[in-house]
Structure 1
Amino acid sequence: MSNPNAATDGQLHRAVGFWGLMFLSLGSIIGSGWLLGALTTAVIAGPASLLSWLLAAVMLGVLALVHAELGAAYPISGGTARFPYFAFGPLVGFTAGWMSWLRSVMISPIEVEATLSYSDRIGWVHDRVHILHPNGTLTLAGLVIASCFMLLFTVVNILGVRLLSSTNSVTVVLKTAVPLLTVAVLMSLAFHGANFTAGGGFAPHGAHGVFAALPAGVVFAFLGFEQAIQLAGEARDPQRDVSRAVIVAMAIGTAVYLLLQIAFIAALEPSAVSHGWASPVGRGDFGPYATLATGLGAAWLAVVLYVDAVVSPAGTGLVYMAGAARLSYAMGRQRVLPAPVAAVGRRGVPVVSVLLAFVVGELAFLPFPSWQALVSVVTSAAAVMYAFAPVALHALRVRDSARPRPYRLPAGSVLAPAGFVFANLIFYWSGYQADWKLAAVVLFGLGVLALTRRGIPVGDRGVLRWRSAAWVWPWLGGLVVICRFGRYGGTRALPGWWDLLVVIAFSLAVHYTAVRLALPSDAVDTAVRGERS
């Protein structure tokens, strides 16, 4: 691997310290999810939405710790694509990277749409600009404004990782302070303890409601902890800082989201939830905290929230464009995407990859009408992306055991399989309608891979390692079949709770099979030594 301090033209520049890395992860975690997640989850699960946040924090916390070990041991850019590559070869690395890239490249436009949807609820903005059509799609004016946001993200990313880190650090301070201020103000003005058992009790929809809330906004809100890992190739001291950055960001994000959900439920007017949670702040309301603040006489807080509705999602979109660019850069380095995406400019930035993220983000504005429309699909893609990490960690511990690990996951032999199970459960809870579409996207990605390899001379194509990838297709196909017969968008042929046991048993069988199929130690060592980030 490269010298950590390398900063020569043609390579990524190592210019980001601990705080920059931590803010990159935290800035991705605190985006549009905090503005919209509490309302969405309360409607689905009632007060038991608190359990949804706790469950998601535990599940994603394990996955974050898995990524922390991998990121510290293999400090390279685009890590979510490259860890599976080290363990299983180019075909698995491409599949993981393809899902990672699609997830990342679509979050920037999602965050922009959240900003515009929130802003359109401001009376004077709606009357003068008219950003959205009644069905939620962007108007021409909305598309122009959205494109300006995407162009701003692109310019900041191209100007260099140091400017990206500095810009993000400033916005994260505001993004963290405003939610905490919201919690303090709402709790000081109203705290109706009875709301936690109103409208049918603490869990009006039972465990099903708790699980169904996860893909509806809870898991989406936690996405992004791995951003410090995606930019590890640009960290000054990655072995020391990457794992700490991920862990600290995840801890802060969990605390903020739990406090926000408690404050939201407690501040509601009791009459609004006495008969159920279908409409706690009014139908069609897209700004729940601003509505509550105005109703409680804190109109000034509503103004702050509308300002933050621009800053928080925009800051997250900025970081995700950077992460998406590093992922396509990584796959270009592996020669599973066209070589130009791996080109690095004079500022040490993968310029072509940044521009590709801009173009795909622009296209994403056209077919998807709203923030809510993509949350389940993105959550499902994230589950697949995250699932590769615990399998890779377990395999690399076996096949690359001598490598120094500045951070080591406690009880890794237990938590690695558990992390794979958690990711598969999230995929299952995302619902069949989202999951089968992802299966189709994977097939499309394989077509992209085939075309890319056709452009490479036969002698330079390398080996795809089909044997080590043999577990991936039964895994993804089997999950889609289980979802088809499950209760989340499927036929409900699988009885409640038995469906979860099926997912768990299937996941464990795949996990241990995958570890046995990992590349031999010498092939892993060759792949790792081949890195020149």
Structure 2
Amino acid sequence: MSDANTVVSERSLPRHLGLFGLWLLVVNGLIGAGIFGLPGGAAKLAGEYSPLIYLFCALLILPILLCMAELASYFRGSGGPVRYGTAAFGPFIGFQAGWLYYIARLVSFAANTALLVDSIGYFWPAASAGLPRVVLLSAIVAGLTLVNVLGSVRAMRSLALLTLVKFAVLLLLVIAGASLLGSGLLPAFNPLTVLSSPYDIGGATLLLIYAFVGFESVVVPAGEAKNPARDMPRALIFGLLMVTLLYIGIQLVSVAAVPDIAGSASPLLDVAASLFGQAGSFLLMLGVVASVAANLLGAIFSTPRASFALAEDGSLPRWFAAVQPRFLTPANSIMFFGALALLLTLYGSFLWLAAATVVSRLLLYGLTCAAVPLLRPKLANADSFVLPLGYLFPLLGIAACVWLALQVSWSAILATSLFVLLGSALYFLARHQARRTN
């Protein structure tokens, strides 16, 4: 099972990513800055039932993740959604899948970079405004870009260190909180009465579901995985399981430690201060910085591989497919992403753009689920990860995407439509240029 694009990817980029490296990309795609602010909103909308909403969201996202795991086992080249969309629906849909992924991750990266500087401002107030803010934003983006240009091994080592700090802080909060709170940790609720509660369970689901997106980052650099057919499904499933358990633990501790957490603007800081005093707040801010930095590093590692794959397919100029001869990284794609993200961070307004990323991801997930019935008969073999129960999981994934899409605003749909039109223009321009040079 190979094609021209796969061969190019295998020759161009060395395969350094094992199961642990792929798992790092999954958990850092899932855990960004959101979990540090979500416990308050979740408690406001769902009260003592909020830990169960995390579990429900994980079950909602599970069929989509499993469909992506199956498709990842069919391909050895980089590109992820680009490869799946092209193989199932043709090059135009494949380009749109890659384009939508790229835009969603770019806006998320820019927003989280600004958040990281705001978090640093907790320790260094002068960094929150003026020239110091501009210099710090530029230094962060430039540093992350340089680490990735210098090689995937260096990037993974940095990501592992940041992930260790992040998990240590969050696990310490859960374990120490559970030991201090004892039996008071578990809420006294009857799950059977949730439908008659005064809470907005649907609103809580829509709020928390976005703590479970971002896992798709891992499939994009599949061309650099040692054994993607074996390791990719394991990394996705294991990553979702660990993150779900961590989220539930954090929510249980938050609700028990701070009874009025529903009104908190910085819920985990309040939890840490309640349990451990000012030192706890300081330690948690270190966790915030490490978490956001790890999310950024994972994003700038995986996202440029999408433009790299699109350039290999001829859907973007060949400049994006250039490989740095010494470090064997897609340096042009990495530097372009870094420059675009910095401009957006310095001059962009994220509210309108962020709304578009919601619909972009749902379209991407829907395409992934719809591709499984088309590609399984063609590409599945003895080494593939094939889901049981026929096509039940793709159908469940599509149903979840449709339900979530019905909840979004018309402004988000309009913004996404404009992004699709812009992508279409770029696609046809690249194809026209390719025909003229042939």
Q: Which AA in structure 1 matches 2:128?
A: I
Mapped to 2, the partners of 1:48 and 1:140 lie a distance apart of 45
In the alignment, the residues of structure 2 paired with residue 323 and residue 204 of structure 1 have an alpha-carbon distance, to the nearest angstrom, of 44
Q: Which residue of 2 aligns with 1:226?
A: 216
> CA–CA distance in 1 between the matches of 2:358 and 2:51?
19
Q: Distance in 1 between matches of 2:321 and 2:302?
A: 14
For the Cα contact (< 8 Å) 2:67–2:369, is it kept in 1? Answer: yes
Q: Bigger shift: 360-369 or 328-337?
A: 360-369
1:24 paired to 2:21: no
Taking structure 1 as reference, are residues 194 and 167 closer, same or farther at Cα in structure 2, changes over 3 Å only? closer
Q: Deviations over 1:324-343 (max 9, x none)?
A: 10111111111111121111
- Equivalences for residues 312-391 of structure 1 within 5 A: 312-346=291-325, 347-366=327-346, 368=348, 376-391=355-370
* Total equivalences in the alignment: 431
Pair 1:310 & 2:311 matched: no
Distance 1:17 1:114, change over 3 A: same
Q: Deviation of residue 403 (structure 1)?
A: 4.0
The Cα offsets for residues 115-157 of structure 1, whole Å up to 9 and x where unpaired, read as: 223343x3x522xx1515xxxxxx4432321221111110111
Unmatched 5+ stretches in structure 1: 133-138, 461-533
Q: 1:455 to 1:172 in 2, by over 3 A?
A: same
Among 422, 428, 432, the alignment partner of 1:444 is 422
Cα 1:421/1:395, change in 2 over 3 Å: same
Q: CA deviation at 1:2?
A: 7.9
Q: Counterpart amino acid of 2:166?
A: K
In structure 1, the residue corresponding to 2:392 is in which secondary structure? helix
Given the superposition, is the C-alpha separation of residues 142 and 97 from structure 1 closer, same or farther in structure 2, using an over 3 Å criterion? Answer: same
Is 1:427 aligned to residue 405 of structure 2? yes
- 1:458: Cα distance to partner? 5.0
Superposed displacement of residue 262, structure 1: 1.5
1:41 is displaced (CA, Å) by: 2.7
What one-letter code is carried by the residue in structure 2 that aligns with 1:162? V
Cα gap change, 1:388 to 1:206, in 2 (>3 Å): farther
- Name 1:518's counterpart in structure 2: none
Task: State the distance in 2 between where 1:147 and 1:331 align.
Answer: 27
The structure 1 residue matched to 2:433, chosen from 427, 451, 455, is 455
How many Å separate the matches in 2 of 1:361 and 1:61?
Answer: 30
Match of 2:153 among 162, 166, 173: 162
- CA drift of 1:215 comes to 4.3
Q: Which moved more, 1:155-164 or 1:28-37?
A: 28-37
Deviation at 1:160, TM superposition (A): 0.9
Q: Is contact 1:31–1:316 with CA below 8 Å preserved after alignment?
A: yes
CA RMSD of superposed structures (Å): 2.8
Question: Residue 235 of structure 2 aligns with which residue?
Answer: 245
Pick from 263, 276, 282 the counterpart of residue 253 of structure 2: 263
Larger relative contact order, structure 1 or 2 (CA cutoff 8 Å, min sep 6):
2
Please state how far the C-alpha of 1:368 moved relative to its aligned partner.
4.7
Higher helix share: 2
- Partner Cα distance (2:159, 2:398) in 1: 31
Scaled by the length of structure 2, what TM-score is found? 0.89
Whether the aligned pair in 2 keeps the contact of 1:36 and 1:288 (CA below 8 Å) is yes
Amino acid at match of 1:159: L
Q: Aligned equivalents of 1:210 and 1:432: distance in 2?
A: 22
Q: Distance in 2 between matches of 1:313 and 1:179?
A: 13
Alpha-carbon displacement from aligned partner over 1:50-80 (angstroms, at most 9, x marks no partner): 3432222012111111111111111221111
Which 5+ residue runs of structure 2 have no aligned equivalent?
A: none
In 2, are the aligned partners of 1:47 and 1:203 still within 8 Å (CA)? Answer: no
2:57 aligns with 56
Question: Aligned-pair distance for 1:108?
Answer: 1.9
- 3-state SS in 1 of match to 2:109: helix
Matching residue's letter, 2:124: V
Identity level (%): 25
Q: Distance in 2 between matches of 1:203 and 1:99?
A: 36
* Cα distance change of structure 1 residues 204 and 37 upon mapping to structure 2, 3 Å threshold: farther
2:397 aligned with 1:406: no
Taking a change above 3 Å as real, the CA distance of residues 297 and 12 of structure 1, as seen in their structure-2 partners, is closer
1:293 to partner: Cα distance: 1.9
Which TM-score applies when normalising by structure 1?
A: 0.74
Contact 2:166 2:287 in 1 (8 A): yes
The change in CA–CA distance for 1:242 and 1:194 in structure 2 (over 3 A counts) is closer
Q: CA deviation at 1:188?
A: 3.3
1:397 is aligned to 376
- Deviation, structure 1 residue 8: 10
CA contact 1:390–1:420 (8 Å) conserved in 2: yes
Change (3 A) 1:177 1:373: farther
Deviation at 1:178, TM superposition (A): 1.5
